[in-house]
Copies of this chain bind each other. A is one copy, B any other.
Amino acid sequence: MSSLLAHDTGTGSPPDRGDPRTVRLLTPDGVRQTSGEYAARVADLDDAALLGLYTDMVVIRRIDQEATALQRQGELALWPPLLGQEAAQIGSARALEHDDFVFSSYREHGVAWVRGATTAELCRVWRGIAVAGWDPYRIGMATPQVIIGAQTLHATGYAIGAKYDGAASAVVSYFGDGATSEGDTSEAMVFAVTYGAPVVFFCQNNQWAISEPVGLQAPTGIAARAAGFGLPSVTVDGNDVLAVLAVTREALERARAGEGPSFIEAVTYRMGPHTTADDPTRYRTADEVEAWKAKDPVARLAAYLRGTGALTDDVDAEVAATAQRAAAALRADCTALGEPDGESIFDDVYAEPHPVLEAQRTRFLAYREGFEEER
């Protein structure tokens, strides 16, 4: 199977986890690799384009920060921060075409943002007014999946359908390192390989599944597991937006060319808590968090763009202002979100008439009426 693994290192710098096969195109100090197969896949990205990626990352980080603040202030019930995973999400999402489709987990705010979710839509679930933020068909992305691993099968099914339709669409399924242990994730790989589904399994290995280190789920590595199922599998530096873009482009191209599924392990780090309800100091050291700060995905791209001169203080201030506007919009849109009427809980449970539930709705309304009369 090892021939299926992508081996382009893309850099001479010492690799993460001693793995010589991790794709990297930007070193932590911001040196860009320009030769090699993967570098070629992103050779079209000039400074302006890179500045676009940089802006995306800064904006989503700012949005994430604002959402965290909104949670602290009681405006959101919960928020799962993406801090540290900006490159993995922006780099991969920017590789997608309009007709592609995404099935993600709950932390992929960056992906949703790139797909076109509004700030209001980013908030709806976490404010507790809906269990889905947006219309999946409008932005080409399913709503956040809470059941770990379940969406990998949905992605595979959708991809099989796209293939049957003769569409050029590819599908990306996002999930975490923890999700690789769930039976569904393995079954998804089986189905994807059997049917040659145009699906990309994109694993953000952020080192932790709540309090459990990745070594508990996959002591011998994640990418190899996928390779064992017969999927072309690659490990990428998930904090390197260029490298992530490159490997995702490759996988999507393969999918669209009818060459079937593939697997990407993006090695990254969850800098913040699992969610705003989590206290990571209970299970990991400050040293570990510090060590990963040195690999910050945003700082890395900034360093490179500073080097080329594309990112000046002025430009950076503009980017920051853009981010600030997004954060302000998030806050405004979030706090403006109305609460749906109670009766709406009966809507859409069924697509077709359902007399038993309608009778319950009648009872609900009678109850509410009687109750209001009493007052």
Interface of A is mostly: helix
A216 near B194 with CB under 8 A, answer yes
Contact partner of A187 among B181, B226, B230, CB < 8 A? B181
Closest Cβ of chain B: how far from A320's Cβ, in Å?
43
Give Cα A181–Cα B216 distance, bound, in whole angstroms.
22
Q: Taking the complex as formed, is A229 at the interface, i.e. its CB lies under 8 A from any CB of chain B?
A: yes
Question: Can you name 11 A-B residue pairings with CB atoms under 8 Å?
Answer: A1-B224, A181-B190, A182-B183, A183-B186, A183-B187, A186-B186, A190-B218, A219-B230, A221-B230, A227-B228, A228-B229
Closest Cβ of chain B: how far from A226's Cβ, in Å?
7
Q: Which residue of chain B is the closest to A225 with respect to CB atoms?
A: B228
| Count class of interface residues, chain A | 20 to 34
The residues of B that contact A181 with a CB separation of less than 8 Å are 187, 190
Number of this chain's copies in the complex: 2
Q: Taking the complex as formed, is A362 at the interface, i.e. its CB lies under 8 A from any CB of chain B?
A: no
The residues of B that contact A225 with a CB separation of less than 8 Å are 228-230
The residues of B that contact A193 with a CB separation of less than 8 Å are 219-220
Q: Taking the complex as formed, is A335 at the interface, i.e. its CB lies under 8 A from any CB of chain B?
A: no
Q: Taking the complex as formed, is A184 at the interface, i.e. its CB lies under 8 A from any CB of chain B?
A: yes
The residues of B that contact A227 with a CB separation of less than 8 Å are 1, 224, 228
Q: Taking the complex as formed, is A13 at the interface, i.e. its CB lies under 8 A from any CB of chain B?
A: no
Residues of chain A touching chain B, judged by Cβ–Cβ distance below 8 Å, are 1-2, 181-184, 186-187, 190, 193-194, 216-221, 224-230
Give Cα A194–Cα B2 distance, bound, in whole angstroms.
22
Closest Cβ of chain B: how far from A67's Cβ, in Å?
33
Give Cα A230–Cα B215 distance, bound, in whole angstroms.
12
The residues of B that contact A216 with a CB separation of less than 8 Å are 194
The residues of B that contact A184 with a CB separation of less than 8 Å are 183
Give Cα A193–Cα B225 distance, bound, in whole angstroms.
12
Closest Cβ of chain B: how far from A214's Cβ, in Å?
11
Q: Which residue of chain B is the closest to A229 with respect to CB atoms?
A: B225
